[in-house]
Amino acid sequence: MLPLRDSILYHGPALGTKMILYTCIIVFFFQLSRGPAAFGEGISAWGFIPVSFWANPGGEFWRIFTSMFMHGSPGHIFGNLWFLWVFAPAVEGKLGAKRFLLLYFMAGAGAALLQASFMPASTLPMVGASGAISGVLGAYLIIFPRAFILTIVLPFIFFSFWIPAFFYLGYWAFLQLLYGLLGIPGVAWWAHLGGFLLGVFLTPFVRPRRSYRADPFWECWRGYC
């Protein structure tokens, strides 16, 4: 199920979201510009490698953050940034840019560490923003449990319908758990699930204490906000 948009009509400027999105795109085009051989070398040089991290946590910790801006293929970056653009602006609009970025990077770091804990001997570099974006999905579930997500079921691209956010995100989290338990290779399922749970856990702490409305810049579809 591919999300097209959420039911929040206006999200604010979403400067933090755009900064992450544009940075990932620029980094990916830089990766491509160096050619196929250098592309793989760059992933090894800047990706997060679990076995290297556990051998030298202090010296390898920086890779957690550089790996968040790198991707392994056009499909990889497209899928990650698509979910970022659908869910992050509303979360940032509610948290503010600084709190949003704090949650984003904390969730991304925690997701990488959880994946490394499940695969401590792995020598494969981990790259991608999916762990951090999963944290945004967890935050969305807490902040907007009554929102709706306009969704299509691939390959039926001309058939779309609104799904409650709690159902869509719960289904998504269940799939990460299922695929992780099945050991399906090629995707850091535990990083996705860990980032999501961290987003759920961290949101009450980073959410502004005061209750406020951002009218006239904040509107919700049918009052679901």
pLDDT surpassing 70 at residue 220 = no
The fraction of the chain above a pLDDT of 70, given in percent, is 91
- The string of pLDDT tens digits covering residues 76-126 is 999 999 999 999 999 999 999 999 999 999 999 999 999 999 889 999 999
DSSP for 49-117, written as a single string: -HHHHHH-HHHHTTHHHHHTT--SSHHHHHHHHHHHHHHHHHHHHHH-HHHHHHHHHHHHHHHHHHHHH
Give the integer Cα–Cα distance in Å for 186 and 198.
Answer: 22
ω before 155 within 30° of 0 (cis)? yes
The residue with greater pLDDT, 225 or 59, is: 59
Q: How many angstroms from the chain centroid is the CA of residue 186?
A: 17
Structural fold of domain 2-209: Rhomboid-like fold (1.20.1540)
